Amino acid sequence: MSETNKENKLWGGRFTGTTDPLMNLYNSSISYDSKMYKEDLEGTRIYTQGLCKLNLITESELKAIDHGLTEIEKEWSSKTFVIVENDEDIHTANERRLGEIIGKEISGKVHTGRSRNDQVATDMRLYCRNILNTQLIPYLKDLIEGIVGRAEQEIDVLMPGYTHLQRAQPIRWSHWLSSYATYFTEDLERLVQISERLNKSPLGAGALAGHPYNIDRDFLAKGLGFDEVIGNSLVAVSDRDFVVEIMFWGSLFMNHISRFAEDLIIYSTAEFGFVQLADAYSTGSSLMPQKKNPDSLELLRGKSGRIFGNMAGFMMSLKGIPSTYNKDMQEDKEPLFDSLTTIEHSILIATGVITTLKINKENMFKSLTMDMLATDLADYLVKKNVPFRETHHISGECVALAENLKLSGIDKLSLEQFKKIDHRFNEDVFEVFDFEQSVEQRRAVGGTAKNAVLTQLSNLKNKLK
């Protein structure tokens, strides 16, 4: 190994031979962990303040270090930072550049008592906290607010509700919107909890055994905005549960996004015609000029598999690792960064889709059929003190008779035909066949009556606060 190579590598002093060029490439992470340049610089800034408190760095040296870190941050933000051959990761690159700016005599002190093990763990937690709190959480709130706002505006629109993809009972369009706003609000609550759980400081844990100069880890934690210190140095450097949790969360969230997208894909077909996507979120066919494809929704559905794959892949990397830090842990960054970016884009696309699509309330209403009121017919008899199991059977007989007579609906049966099935039917049975009335009967908490849905939406807005 050349003198230059040994000097640039943080671990070069132990080795006398050269490294296989492919091994250099295989080992390098600078191509993706440079995303964390701000977090790495901030960690060094606070860490050197801790060293200064121990008189391991002088005030003038600290001032020089702070100046150098500021200059490096400017270079990264302006995209003028030059990565050289042996910058194997963001930590090596920043420390190398710091030495070029302020001299190696001072820059060589910044790593005193610190390991890349606690350094990368700190960077990762800072980066994840930043992305969650400044991007994913606010964007997810925007998505929920967009859905809730639309639900409030279109509260009077009725549509079929489905089970097994078969028309089941009439509901409000807003009730469907509220269902996904509820899923996403629960996702938001989980994400906030993850952000709180990961906000613990590994800095000052050293390579694995702790800090040799008794640095004030509480000071470091406070300076970086962490809520507390990780109390075991072995855990501090090797814990990646927060990475797994984020990817677990992403898999569940994207599962919800996928189901949301699938519903809208179905509703946008000519056979349903309930919704029409804005041109901004659709594409055409290279062969069939009449096509308007819901590619945005199909991509949302497809990328959910990608997110799950990232999580499953990293879990397989993590499961066999012995205690403390091992190089396998470098495999956390690419799937995590990809997941965070994909989820961020997915939230923004979903927000754009749901806030710009048009609904066809006439088609929604026309899709309501009288057989969907069969349960209401059973409930009619329940109100006359007939046991529900009996009324269910009676209502089924009414549906069967209407089908056998090839009537357009059970509402076309005559009173005489109703009475032939059960004598407890009276003239008021025909009042059952009203979709608005059916919906409004379901006033209990969580139901599809207007006030029940508005209550759901109000509760969701309160949770967002």
Q: How far apart are CA 392 and CA 389, in angstroms?
A: 5
**Residue 139: partners with Cβ closer than 8 Å, 6 or more residues away:** 344, 347, 348, 351
164 is catalytic: yes
Token readout for 222 is 């406070």
Catalytic residue among 60, 78, 164, 423: 164
Enumerate the β-bridge partners of residue 92: none
**Residue 329: partners with Cβ closer than 8 Å, 6 or more residues away:** 238, 240, 318, 321
Q: How far apart are CA 37 and CA 76, in angstroms?
A: 7
Asked whether the beta carbons of 197 and 228 are under 8 A apart, the reply is no
Q: How far apart are CA 279 and CA 374, in angstroms?
A: 39
Asked whether the beta carbons of 276 and 357 are under 8 A apart, the reply is yes
Q: How far apart are CA 164 and CA 149, in angstroms?
A: 28
Listed residue (177, 138, 143, 162) closest to 457, CA to CA: 177
**Distances in Å between the alpha carbon of 241 and those of 197, 198, 319, 407?**
10, 9, 11, 61
Q: How far apart are CA 446 and CA 440, in angstroms?
A: 12
The structure tokens 């035909």 sit at 417
Catalytic residue among 2, 285, 323, 458: 285
Which string of DSSP letters, residue by residue, matches 124-161?
Answer: HHHHHHHHIIIIIHHHHHHHHHHHHHHHHHTTT-EEEE
Token readout for 359 is 């609904």
Asked whether the beta carbons of 66 and 119 are under 8 A apart, the reply is no
Distance from CA of residue 143 to its chain's centroid?
A: 11
67 is catalytic: no
Residue 9 backbone phi and psi in degrees, to 5: -80, 130
Give the Cα-Cα-Cα angle 55, 74, 99 (nearest 5 degrees): 45
Catalytic residue numbers, as ranges = 164, 285
